[in-house]
């Protein structure tokens, strides 16, 4: 649930290319920290 909302937030708030790249990087960093993939 939380992950879905988090994903939605990132997708909807990253329309510009450089911002998208930054958001995705932050998203993956967060995933690695929280889930130890």
Model confidence pLDDT, tens digit, residues 1-37: 566 666 666 665 555 666 677 878 888 888 888 776 5
pLDDT at 12: 58
Question: What is the C-alpha separation between 27 and 12, in angstroms, rounded?
Answer: 13
Backbone angle region of 36, left / alpha / beta, with phi > 0 → left and psi within -120 to 50 → alpha: left
Q: What is the dihedral of CA 21, 14, 26, 10, to 10 degrees?
A: -140
Q: Which two tokens stand for residue 34?
A: 């929280």
């Amino acid at each position: 649930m939380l992950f879905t909302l988090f994903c939605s937030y990132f997708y909807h708030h990253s329309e510009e290319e450089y911002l998208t790249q930054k958001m995705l990087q932050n998203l993956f960093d967060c995933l690695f920290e929280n889930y130890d993939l």
